[in-house]
A and B are shown apart, each in its own frame.
Chain A
Amino acid sequence: MASLRRFSPLPGFGLAMGYTLVYLALIVIIPLTAVGTKTLTMGWDAFWAAVSSPRVVASYQLSFGASLLAAAINVVFGLIFAWVLVRYHFPGRGLIDSLVDLPFALPTAVAGIALATIYSENGPIGKVLEPRGIEIAYTPNGVLLALVFIGLPFVVRTVQPVLADLEKEVEEAAAGLGASGWQTFCRIILPHIAPALLTGFAMAFARAVGEYGSVIFIAGNMPMVSEITPLLIITKLEQYDYAGATAVASVMLIFSFLLLLIINGLQGWMQNRHAKGS
C-alpha cells in the first residue's frame, strides 16, 4: 500500500480507488447481481430445467461455438488487415483504414438486414453461392457471418499499433542472420504481437457472445438450429418468464466470465514475459 501511495500520479490512491469501486458497482456489479438474485427466486429444480432444456443447450453451443470461431477467423484476417494497413502505402489506404471502424458505428440491425439481403438466395452473393450448395442466410453460417462482421475492428485495432511499433530493423536483422520470411514471422513478429492478438480475440469473442441485433435478421432463428442464446432470453422475457430468462443469462454470464478470465490470464502471462523484454 505504501508503495502505491508513493508513486501515484493521481490525486491520492484512496480517492481514485474509491471512484473506481463505486463506478464498477453502479455500472457493472449491481445490475449483474440483480441477474443472480432474480435467478435465486427459482428453486434448484426449476433452474436446472430452465438452463438444461435441449433447446437452451443447443443455443449455448451455437452462441459460444460461433463466437469462438468468428473470433478465430477475425484473428487471421484482422492480422492480415492490420499488416496491410501498417506496412504498405497505397492510394485509398486512409479510406480502408476508416472503413474498418464501420461495424462499430453501424446500428447492428442495419448490418443484419444488409447481410441477410445480400446473402439470401435472391441476393447478389447468395444467388451465386446457393446453387453451389453453400447456404448462408437463415442458417448457422449466417450467425457466423454476422459475428465475423461485428468482430473485425477489434482485432485490427488492437494489433495495428503494436505492429507499427515493431521496427523494420528487427526484421532486417533477422533476415541478415539468415532467417527466411516465414521464420521471421513465426519467431520474431508473432511473439511480438501475440498479446495484442489475444486481446483482440477476447474482445471480438465477448462482443460476439452478446451480439443480438445483427444476428437475428440473418439467423432465421430456428429452434435447435440457428437460435442464439440472447434471442432465447428475449423470447423468455416476452413470455413474462423473467426467472427463466435470468437463469439462462446467468449461465451465459458465468461461461463468458470464465472464458475471459482464462484469456486474460494467458495474456497476462505473455505480457509478463514480454514486459521483461520490452
Chain B
Amino acid sequence: MSIAIRHISKQFGAFKALDDVSIDIPSGELVALLGPSGCGKTTLLRIIAGLDFADQGQILLEGDDASARHVRDRQVGFVFQHYALFRHMTIADNVAFGLRVKPRRERLADAEIQRRVKRLLELVQLDWLANRYPSQLSGGQRQRIALARALAVEPKVLLLDEPFGALDAKVRKELRRWLRQLHDEIHVTSVFVTHDQEEALEVSDRVVVINKGKVEQIGTPESVYDHPATPFVANFLGSVNLFHGRVEDGHLHLGEHALALGAQGGSEGKAVAFVRPHEFDIVPGWGAGGGLPATIARVVSVGPSAQIELSRLDGELIEVTVARDVFHLLGFSEGDQVSLCPRHIRVFQAEALAA
C-alpha cells in the first residue's frame, strides 16, 4: 500500500514539531526517516500510524484519506523502540493477540490462529520460544517477536520506531541485515525511524532526511550520501571536515590558501565546504600539488583503514582516512609535514548553513 504524506504540520505548544512535510512512499518500498533526535521523525511516524493526529495536512493510504481514521482501522503494524510486548502473555499469545481480538465474524478458528502464529514465529526464526514470557528473551529476540506480532494482522504498512535503538551494536547490525532480508521476502511497505545514518543508508531503499520538522532531502542512500542537497545533509551523513572560506574565481580561499574547485565551481562569496575523510590524497611536503599544508598529529592504524588526524597551520584539525596498506606504503609518521589534496569538495553558500 502506498503512503502519501501531504503538507503535514504539527505543533506542541510553541514548538513546531513538523512544518509542512510532504513525502510520497510507493508501495513495497522500505523507507528510512533519518534525523537527529527531536527533529520530528517519530511524531511523523505516529501520525502515519494514527497514534497522533496532525494539526494540518493529510495522510493518504493507497490514495484514500486516512487522516481521521483511528489506529485500529488503518491496517498498519507498529513496532516500538522498547518492544511494548505484553508481559503477562507468552510469546505465542503475544503474536496471536491481534488475531484473537478480531470481531467474532472475522476471527479465525483457534487451530488456524495457532498455525499462523507458528508460521510467523518461524519467519522470525524464534519458533522454539513460543511458550516463554517476554522477560526471558534478549532484546533482539523481543524486537523480532514485536515484529512478528505486528505482522500477524497482515498490515498493509509496517512502521518501525527506532526498532534497533535499544540494542547493542552487534545485535543491531545483525538485526538490520535481517530486517532487510525480511522485507525482500514479504515486500510490505515499510517506514522506519532512525537517528543512525549508517543504519538508514544500509537498510533502506530511500532515505528521507529530516531536520527541525522539515524535509531536507529525499533520495536513495547513494544519492543523499554523494550529492547532499543541503549543508545539513552533508554534515549529518557520515563524518566530514568542515571548512569556512570564500569562493572567488573558481577557487575556495581558506585563510592564505586557495583550493581549485575545478569544473563544479561554486557561487561567489562566503562559503562552507565539506570534504569527507576518505576524499583526501596525502602528498609529502608543504605546498605540493596545490594541496592544503598540514602536519600529521596522530595516527590510529587499527582495522582496515588508518585514521589520521592532521592540524592545519592555524591549528584546526582535519580528519583523513586512507586504506591501511596505502598508509604504510606512503610511510608517514606523526610530525610529518604534508599537503592535503581533496578529490571532491562540496561547497554551499554560507547563508545556507544558518538556515
A residues at B contact (CB < 8 Å) = 167, 169-170, 172-180, 183, 187-188, 191-192, 273-274, 276-278
Residues of B within 8 A of A176 (CB): 49, 51, 71-72, 76-78, 150
A68 CB, nearest partner CB in chain B, Å: 26
23 contacts between A and B (CB under 8 A): A170-B84, A170-B85, A170-B86, A172-B51, A173-B78, A173-B146, A174-B101, A176-B49, A176-B76, A176-B78, A177-B149, A177-B153, A178-B72, A178-B101, A178-B102, A179-B97, A179-B98, A183-B101, A276-B135, A277-B88, A277-B133, A277-B134, A278-B88
> Which B9-49 residues sit within 8 Å CB-CB of chain A?
49
Scan B122-162; emit 1 where CB is below 8 A from any A CB, else 0. 00000000000111100000000010011011000000000
Q: In the complex, A167 Cα to B80 Cα: how many Å?
A: 11
Output the residue of B101, B102, B134 with the most chain A CB within 10 A: B101
Q: Which residue of A lies closest to B79 (CB)?
A: A173
Q: Assuming A178-B153, A277-B134, what are 11 further A-B pairs, CB within 8 angstroms?
A: A173-B80, A175-B71, A176-B71, A177-B149, A178-B102, A179-B72, A180-B72, A187-B86, A187-B101, A276-B133, A278-B135
Scan B65-86; emit 1 where CB is below 8 A from any A CB, else 0. 0000011100011101010111
Q: In the complex, A176 Cα to B78 Cα: how many Å?
A: 7
B330 within 8 A of A: no
Residues of A within 8 A of B146 (CB): 173
Does the CB pair B101–A172 fall under 8 Å?
A: no
Does the CB pair A180–B101 fall under 8 Å?
A: yes
Known: A177-B98, A177-B149, A180-B101. A274 touches B88 (CB 8 A): yes
Does the CB pair B82–A169 fall under 8 Å?
A: yes
Known: A172-B71, A176-B77, A183-B101. A192 touches B153 (CB 8 A): no
B166 within 8 A of A: no
Output the residue of A167, A174, A179, A277 with the most chain B CB within 10 A: A277
B residues at A contact (CB < 8 Å) = 49, 51, 70-72, 76-78, 80, 82, 84-89, 97-98, 101-102, 133-136, 146, 149-150, 152-153
A160 CB, nearest partner CB in chain B, Å: 19
Residues of A within 8 A of B149 (CB): 173, 177
Q: Which residue of A lies closest to B159 (CB)?
A: A176
Q: In the complex, A181 Cα to B78 Cα: how many Å?
A: 17
Residues of A within 8 A of B86 (CB): 170, 173-174, 187-188, 277
Q: In the complex, A170 Cα to B84 Cα: how many Å?
A: 5
Does the CB pair A278–B98 fall under 8 Å?
A: no
Residues of A within 8 A of B70 (CB): 175
Q: In the complex, A169 Cα to B150 Cα: how many Å?
A: 13
Q: In the complex, A191 Cα to B84 Cα: how many Å?
A: 15
Output the residue of A175, A176, A276 with the most chain B CB within 10 A: A176
Q: In the complex, A273 Cα to B78 Cα: how many Å?
A: 27
Q: Which residue of A lies closest to B70 (CB)?
A: A175
Q: Which residue of A lies closest to B86 (CB)?
A: A188
Does the CB pair A167–B82 fall under 8 Å?
A: yes
Does the CB pair A173–B84 fall under 8 Å?
A: yes
Q: Which residue of B lies closest to A184 (CB)?
A: B101
Residues of A within 8 A of B136 (CB): 276
Does the CB pair B80–A169 fall under 8 Å?
A: yes
Q: In the complex, A96 Cα to B6 Cα: how many Å?
A: 44
Does the CB pair B87–A177 fall under 8 Å?
A: no
Residues of A within 8 A of B84 (CB): 167, 169-170, 172-173
List of 3 A-B pairs having minimum Cβ-Cβ separation, nearest first? A177-B98, A169-B84, A277-B87
Does the CB pair A175–B72 fall under 8 Å?
A: yes
B41 CB, nearest partner CB in chain A, Å: 17
Residues of A within 8 A of B49 (CB): 176
Residues of B within 8 A of A273 (CB): 88
Q: In the complex, A77 Cα to B138 Cα: how many Å?
A: 38
Does the CB pair B80–A277 fall under 8 Å?
A: no
A235 CB, nearest partner CB in chain B, Å: 48
